[in-house]
Amino acid sequence: RVNFYNMIDIIDAIGGVDLAISADEARVANNYIKEMCNGVGLDPSDYYMSEGNQHMNGVQAVAYCRIRYVGSDFARTQRQRTVLTLMFQKLMTMDIGLINNFLNTALPLVWALSMWR
């Protein structure tokens, strides 16, 4: 398990993801970007997105995954699956040294289920 802020760091550790978003998705994602940036003291204007192809960093990708008001709940879970799939595809193209660096960063951010009991 990870929280939103740890997922931001995990996505940043892999170098972000590339995908296209609609104008409606960008509008709603920007609201989530503002919320998350305010929570950690970042300037949201550095992260705002617009319609089209995007290279998303962790803040942007998590905001994209959180979108609930564009499409159905299935659309939201599809966005989450898309980001995870892109991350795994990126990992499969990395050399072992980069994968090791990623794992050293990402694994401490993941909580084992036993930590929740």
Per-residue model confidence as pLDDT tens digits over 41-64: 999 999 999 999 999 999 999 999
Q: Is 92 exposed, middle or buried (0-12, 13-18, 19+ CB in 10 A)?
A: exposed
pLDDT digits (tens, 9 = 90+) for 100-116: 999 999 999 998 655 54
What mean pLDDT is predicted for residues 16-30? 96
What mean pLDDT is predicted for residues 24-52? 94
Mean pLDDT (the chain, rounded): 92
What mean pLDDT is predicted for residues 75-104? 95
Flag whether pLDDT at 88 surpasses 90: yes
In degrees and rounded to multiples of 5, residue 69 shows phi and psi of: -105, 15
> Which pLDDT score, from 0 to 100, does residue 69 have?
86
Question: Which residue type does 90 have?
Answer: K
